[in-house]
Structure 1
Amino acid sequence: MFKKIVRGSLRGLRRMRAAGITLAVAAAAVALLALTSEGRHKGIGTYDSGKAQAFVESLQVGQRQPSGESREIGGRTWYRVAEQTGTALWLEPARGQIALENTRTGALWLGNPGEKELAQANAKGIWATNLLSPILFRYLDEGQSNEKVTNTVDQEAKVEWVALDRGVGVLYSMDKLGFSFYVEYTVEQGELVVRLPEEGVREKGTKRLVSLELLPFFGASPNGPEGYLFVPDGPGGLIRFNRTYSSQLASYAFPVYGYDPAVWSVGAYENRTDIAFPVFGLNRGTDSYIAVIERGAANTSILAAPAGINTAFNEVHTRITLRNYYYQPIGLGDGNWKNVYQEQLAPVEVQIRYLLTDKDKSDYVGMAQQYRRYLMTHEQVPTLREKNGADYGQGSPPLMLNLVMSAAEPTPTGEKLVVGTTFKDAAGIADVLAKAGIRNLNVSLTGWNNGGFPGRLPDRFPVEQQLGGESGLRQLREQLAKMGIPLSLNDAPFYATDKRANGFSARSEAIKNINGTTVSWSQGGDWYGDADIPDFYFLTPSAALKKWQRTLTSLKRLGIEGVHVQTYSHGFGDYRADSYTTREASLGTLQDMLDQASAQLGSAQTVAAAYSVGHAEHLSGMALDSNYDLIVDEQIPFFPIAIHGLATYSSNPGNLRRNPTVEFLRDIEYGAVPTFMAMTGDTRDMGRTNFASMFSGQFSLIQDQIVEQYEAYQTASTDVWAGFIEGHRQVAAGVYETVYEGGRKIWVNYNSQPFKADGIVVDGLNFKVVEEGRA
């Protein structure tokens, strides 16, 4: 029973996107190798309670009256504690509430609803005081496992503050519970920055903190004016005001970057697309903001609730995890586990930046453009044209072609190699496509390494001889170079297999989960019967980075000019007692790998997520579809709008789509470049490999489809595929418009019937360029 639940839940939770699609690399799911005995591992982290105590005691906080300008809002006195670049920060010291004022427009964003709105809301019980509180939190009584939800008002928090450069630091102390939180509110470049230091969370006594929510009602608005909450669901989602929602409908509440593979979280059974960018926001008609979780995103969840679910207000915010809640095995038999909370408090530094939009840019397009500006200014992400020259992007869009070279097929006595494409075959495919008019081709190879995919990872060399060996790879590179076609190799630097003499030690180089056991990822189970085959392991970030540097040296020696870094999930923690690594730190290691690849080889590709932007030229596996949560009213291309022009991106390969017509049209609407996955051999031969789900990929059978669809992408995106998206709207039911810089407008019709407007006809299930604009 235990193994079945692990297999089913993790298979749904974590899907590996390799070369732009979900590959079935883990046929079953994560297996926890050595089940721990109860209480063996307490869970570790970087938090030091002694340092936290010293930090709080060192704060020069007090309850003196702030010296800034004061004003009355809702019968309470507020003080201006900072002003910069058209933005003023206000503090209400009695409760520690804050407000942000746009001094250019007069718009005021309260951290909690005003007295007038509260009176109209007529909230009762805990929600009445929640609405007054700048912080909500959950905790456990001693010896108990039922979470209690409370706030700083109900707990009569002592509020003290200290003036900071450009803001204020506020300490909320609840001595009866033994908890305190120190939060800094500052303005930088006209933006509100909210920071919770790691040592800013203090826990004394026997009660245990579980989570806290910062500014849960910032900008919260009652129904009335048209507006919406923005959540990072798929490419982006809107929860609109003024809708009637059942009180039984659950709020939107999902972890940024999904669940950590090293923490088998209770309730982590959702088969859904993980949040790929840490942004949320709120539009209240003529004004809006977005909030970017700059630090600690992997320890947070995005929560959103329209009016009528929890309160009479539409609200969106983040919840910070302070203790993981997970399954702990307590024996060797199936089904022997219990739900436990991490024993040690494990906060990390969290920083959230709130950015206001201009009045004429307050819709979701303006909010996405604000995120783009954030990436360019705060993350220093250059545009594609800044990086590659002013003429970059002129002409036809690139076609990303991933060729499956070989894969390992497990057998009862070991593994055998299944060849899909030789290096000579790959050159032939490129030549055929070039002669068909596809000049802007980008080729990547999967399973080029010794033993095919996954082979003997982390040992990749020598290049698989049955494909043509090193000499065949060099010859392929030279042939493609003559045609002006870049060549990339797909690689999985965080993966290791349990094979002899492959340069990997599970004992010292595999990550450990929160239970203190080694994390493995079984290839066996549902697909392979009882075949005795090796497991995958996750390399610790330090071990992966060390081996990666050697890999890049070898690839450079081969003349390879790019690498596609394949990842599993969105980072993972490592709970080794001697080398604890946070999930966010592992994402930092991935960024280092991408930067090294770009510097040493020339280019890097990887999964489409916020942490990849600025570190990779192309992002694969872009989520262009929502999770269809009932609470989300509308899907929008927020993330594509934000990063178009900063990186190219692709979604599912054109030959492996679940809904071919709709997904093709979505690519056109959202500005994705075309991608296909192919091999020369019969894909049925891959039925017992990691490519078993590649049902339609034999090049001879999809060649015409590739050429035909590429011509459609050319029509839509020639000359604009490297520029910004400047507009998007719904023209009519099932009809959407995308506008590029320069003025090109494209209408996409998802209806089966033709759409007619303004003298323009768009055929059913088709698109049309309705205005060329200027290139």
Structure 2
Amino acid sequence: MRILRSKKLFMVAAICVISASTLSSFIFAKSISTDKKQTETQTTQTTTQTEPKTVPQTNTTKAVTPAKSNGKLPDENQFQRIAENEKLLLKADKTSGHFTVTSKTTGEVWRSFPNPKDWQDKLNTDAWKMHLASPFMFRYVEFNLRKDLLKETNFYAQKGGISQFEVTDQGFKVVYDMPDLGFIIPVEVKLGEDFVETKVLAEGLVDEKVIPKEEPAAATVDKDGKEVKKPKAKKDPMARLASIRLFPFLGAQTSNDEDGFLYIPDGPGALIDFRERRAGTQNLYTERVYGDDWAYSNRNTLSDRNPITMPVFGIKSNKQALLGVITEGEEYANVVAAPSGSFSQFNWVTPEYQYRFKFFQPTDTKKQNGYLTYSKEITKSDHATRYYMIEETNEEISYVTLAERYRELLMKESGMKPLEGEQAKLRLQLHFLGGDTEDGFLWDSYLPLTTTKKAEEIVQELSALGVDKMDITYLGWQNDGYSKFGGDFPVPDKLGGDQGMKKFTDFAHSKGYTVYLDASSYTYNRGGKDGFRKNRDGLRDLASSVIESMNWDSRRKTFVSPKFMKGVIEGDLQEAKSLGINGYLYGQGIGTFLNTDFNENYPTTREQSKEIQKQLFEKTKATFGSVKGERGNAYTLPYISHMDNMASNFSYDLFVDRVVPFAQIALHGLTTYSFEYANLSDDYANNFLKGIEYGAVPSFVVTNASSQELLKSLSLHEFYSTNYKDWLDEIVSQYQKYEEALGDVQNEFITGHREMVSGVFETTYSNGKQVIVNYNDKDVRVDNSVVKAKDYIVSKGGA
């Protein structure tokens, strides 16, 4: 009995000790928690006042608490006020980095995550629930496992956490840490006057996990005395970052009310409409800004879509819209978009920032055998996108609204100005094909197609027929003709020589016409002219192979290193100027292609290639007073007087619902543009109507020689109908029709565009003029007018 009592006393005493210990621990923990909250508050206040300019560095040894979403969207009620201005209010969630932007005038809310209003679990797979809730998705490669395979994941799936969150005067900075992979992603969000800017910072970005070497453990034995082998350490997968989609579902919406669209920069522009009953597919639009990089082309499939020439995209839903403009690092970015039903219940569009690229690594000297892998070195640069908030006011938001906003940015940010004076006059774009090389049995010979003397006669004939405004561009003027590359000067004697070209230019000027030389040939070299040596001066890929492009006739031409090309062009500018020309027309590798160069003599990043091209446009304009571009990228726009061969159609993706003139709406009134040569079009009538609808100017390519003569050259297969006599009446007729319809609106902005009824489109200009085009095979009545089949009407204004 005494023993029992003593046991009870012992138990009571033990319980008291444990309770006291627990109570003191609770008080201590509470104190720490309170102190931590006070410290966080003080840190936030101090950060706001000091406005730090550098990205906070994460202590990699510090344990990071994994953020949790459980496939649920963040709770907006927990968001904190971060920054505001007269128009917008920015709030953010410190546990995820997600944010909202609210309009102070209408109350419209834009979210960095999908709109939770119509969220339905059953319409999203478990994997996509986590994608949709995450602040970013990313792809990575494991070099020690499958070096040619990308893995797609997200912040939550990798048990990531936030190691630092700072409030700045304009927004906030957040550092995402994923210890399992060793990835640290620093992100900055800023509020602007009418936009929010999101940025992945290069400084502080880490994508390499440091795995400490393990000390050899002492041998152990089991109960029977046998040695137990230590299990082998897991192989380091060498995970490395390939791409990031930051806040990929910013503005994402369902198709429940079908009142919206995604805008993608395909061709002139394309829309993916919100459709509730769209067939479920795995369709995804993904295309690289400024096109493929030839340095990674070997054994890789190049895109057959139109390259993206403008780094813009958009999404519209109900009374709000977003115009996304990639402002930093766009040369290393893709635009990605998917309609609802493809992967989730949401429509979304986003940039994807690229850090590593797939290429072919040869394993023999002939470079025939090898394997595909990703580049080991990371491409580090800041990647930023501005999302311009557009809300409905007096008129419904449309693709025109987005294009008009981009036009404003081109004027404000790029310095483009409305056309005036002679620049605002509609001019026929006439291209002469000068000459080429005729393939011979033993040796080749020069093949003249339009000598400068004959060109003068053709121009005189067009002038007499009433074509009083004309820009003339000479193709194939260079030494040895159109398909020869390198050593462009002097102009071949059989074409007229330098003297003949100068005489022709003087004649054209006396008529009020301008003359340009096509300078696209500088992109390539074949044969060693200009001091070019293929193995020394050619563009090289990451495997150090010289990059060549093969024509349809199996003849190769070598891409020239951008730095070498720049020197050749700059050396030729003064000789070209002595001919009295008005400028160069740049295309292909100058303004259109954007390539990395791994040539050790001329190492050049894709970003540096862009700068070289900009410098060439700028210097050429300074030399001649004018420069033209052919299908040029957005960075060429501040310099050009005309855009040649601009895309007028999209890439025919099945999920695209409509093609729209977004690019033309943005550019009309700031520069002139033309589409493919009318006489080489697959559909001459529709090509003409498209030009009238989109506000273009007429464009033809002609020769004095018969089309049969061109067959003597294996390189001119694309020029199948060029004899000017066959097209003389059409050239004059088209010019007169364009002049009558659009002659007085070249300096006017396009302010409206819509499909009135099926196959009938209306374009409205800022001076009130309206052009209605009917693509149908029968007459159509619209309002009080009848538009004949395959025809158009023009009115001075008033719908």
Q: What TM-score, normalized by structure 2, do the two folds share? A: 0.83
Q: For 1:160-559, list aligned pairs within 5 A.
A: 160-205=164-209, 206-225=238-257, 226-264=259-297, 268-331=301-364, 336-359=369-392, 360=395, 362-385=397-420, 389=421, 392-393=423-424, 397-411=426-440, 413-457=442-486, 459-492=487-520, 494-523=522-551, 526-527=552-553, 535-559=556-580
C-alpha separation in 2, matches of 1:288 and 1:640: 20
Is 1:156 the counterpart of 2:189? The answer is no
Asked if 1:617 is matched to 2:620, the reply is no
CA shift at 1:58, angstroms?
A: 7.8
Post-superposition shift, 1:268? 2.4
Q: In structure 1, list runs of 5 or more residues that go unmatched.
A: 1-53, 65-71
Structure 1 residues 193 and 59: alpha-carbon distance in aligned structure 2, compared to 1, 3 A threshold: farther
Residue of structure 2 in register with 1:574 after alignment: 597
1:708-747 aligned within 5 A: 708-747=733-772
Q: In structure 2, do the counterparts of structure 1 residues 90 and 562 end up closer, same or farther at CA, with 3 Å as the change threshold?
A: same
The 1:75/1:88 distance shift into structure 2, 3 A limit, reads: closer
Instruction: Count matched residues.
Output: 700
Aligned to 1:605: 628
CA separation of 1:508/1:480 partners in 2, compared to 1, >3 Å: closer, same or farther? Answer: same
Q: Deviations over 1:231-251 (max 9, x none)?
A: 111111111112423333411
Gap change, CA 1:280 and 1:126, over 3 Å in 2:
same
Counterparts of 1:59 and 1:292, CA distance in 2: 33
3-state SS of the aligned residue for 1:99? strand
Deviations 1:247-301 (A, max 9, x none): 3341112222221111127662543322221111000022111101122222221
Contact 1:612 1:619 in 2 (8 A): no
Does the Cα contact within 8 Å between 1:95 and 1:153 map onto a contact in 2? Answer: no
Look up the SS of the partner of 2:415 in the other structure: coil
Aligned partner of 2:84 in structure 1 is: 83
Residue 719 of structure 1 and its aligned partner are, at CA, apart by: 0.7
CA RMSD of aligned residues (A): 2.6
Q: Is the 8 A contact 1:85 1:190 kept in 2?
A: no
User: Are the aligned partners of 2:295 and 2:541 in contact in 1 as well (CA < 8 Å)?
Assistant: yes
Contact 1:63 1:161 in 2 (8 A): no
Whole-angstrom distance in 1 between the partners of 2:495 and 2:687:
33
The structure showing larger relative contact order (alpha-carbon pairs under 8 Å, at least 6 residues apart) is 1
Q: Is the 8 A contact 2:282 2:343 kept in 1?
A: no
Instruction: Give per-residue Cα distances to partners, 1:433-487, cap 9 Å, x unaligned.
Output: 1111110111111122221224351x22112111111111111111111111111
Aligned partner of 1:126 in structure 2 is 127
Give the 3 Å change call, closer, same or farther, for CA 749–265 of structure 1 in structure 2: farther
SS at match of 2:388: strand
Amino acid at match of 1:253: T
TM-aligned CA deviation for residue 92 of structure 1: 0.9
Is 2:770 aligned against 1:757?
no
Map of 1:648 onto structure 2:
672
Give the conservation status (yes or no) of the 8 Å contact 2:561–2:599.
Answer: no
Once residues 515 and 368 of structure 1 are traced to their aligned partners in structure 2, the CA distance between those partners, rounded to angstroms, is 41
Deviations along 1:201-257, one digit per CA (max 9) or x if unpaired, are 311222122211111100001122310111111111111112423333411122222
Letter in 1 for 2:647: A
SS at match of 2:603: coil
Partner of 1:50: none
Tell me how far apart the structure 2 counterparts of residues 331 and 760 of structure 1 sit (CA, whole Å). 71
Write the letter of the residue equivalent to 1:566.
G
Amino acid at match of 2:107: G
Which is worse superposed, 629-638 or 105-114? Answer: 105-114
Q: SS state of the match for residue 680, structure 1? A: coil
User: SS at the partner of 1:262?
Assistant: helix
Distance, in Å, in 2 between the alignment partners of 1:100 and 1:414 is: 70
- Corresponding position of 1:108: 109
Q: Aligned pair in 2 of structure 1 residues 243, 685: CA closer, same or farther (>3 Å)?
A: farther
Change over 3 Å in CA distance of 1:683–1:185 after alignment to 2: same
Asked if structure 2 preserves the Cα contact closer than 8 Å seen for 1:401 and 1:444, the reply is: yes
Give the letter aligned to residue 162 of structure 1: E
Q: Report percent identity of matched pairs.
A: 28
Which residue of structure 2 lines up, in the alignment, with residue 8 of structure 1? Answer: none
Whole-angstrom CA distance in 1 between matches of 2:79 and 2:442: 75
Instruction: Tell me if the contact between 2:536 and 2:601 (Cα under 8 Å) persists in the aligned partners.
Output: no
Contact 2:55 2:173 survives alignment (8 Å):
no
Q: Is the 8 A contact 2:524 2:557 kept in 1?
A: yes
Which of 619, 622, 633 matches 2:657? 633
TM-aligned CA distance change 1:195 to 1:415, over 3 Å: farther
What's the offset of the Cα at 1:646? 1.2
3-state DSSP of counterpart to 1:645:
coil
Distance 1:56 1:415 in 2: 66
For residue 246 of structure 1, give the secondary structure of its aligned residue in structure 2: coil
Residue type matched to 1:256 in 2? V
Distance (Å, rounded) in 1 between the aligned partners of 2:734 and 2:723: 16
| More displaced 10-residue stretch of structure 1: 461-470 or 498-507 | 498-507
Offset at 1:617?
0.8
Out of 670-679 and 605-614, give the one that drifted further: 605-614
Cα deviation, 1:86-131, whole Å, max 9, x if unaligned, reads: 1222211101112222222211110012555435665332111111
- Residue 119 of structure 2 aligns to a residue whose secondary structure is helix
Partner of residue 224, structure 2: none
Give 3-state SS (helix, strand or coil) of 2:717's partner.
Answer: coil
Q: Helix, strand or coil: the match of 2:129?
A: helix
Contact 2:335/2:352 (CA < 8 Å) preserved in 1? yes
Q: Within 2, Cα distance between the matches of 1:773 and 1:695? A: 43
Q: Paired residue for 2:69?
A: none
1:84, distance to aligned residue in structure 2 (A)? 2.9
Once residues 120 and 430 of structure 1 are traced to their aligned partners in structure 2, the CA distance between those partners, rounded to angstroms, is 68
SS state of the match for residue 474, structure 1?
A: helix
Query: 1:720: Cα distance to partner?
Result: 0.4
Per the TM alignment, residue 679 of structure 1 is displaced from its structure 2 partner at its CA by 0.7
Mapped partners of 1:119, 1:234: distance in 2: 35
Distance 1:90 1:75 in 2: 9
Paired residue secondary structure (1:268)? coil
Q: CA deviation at 1:76?
A: 4.3
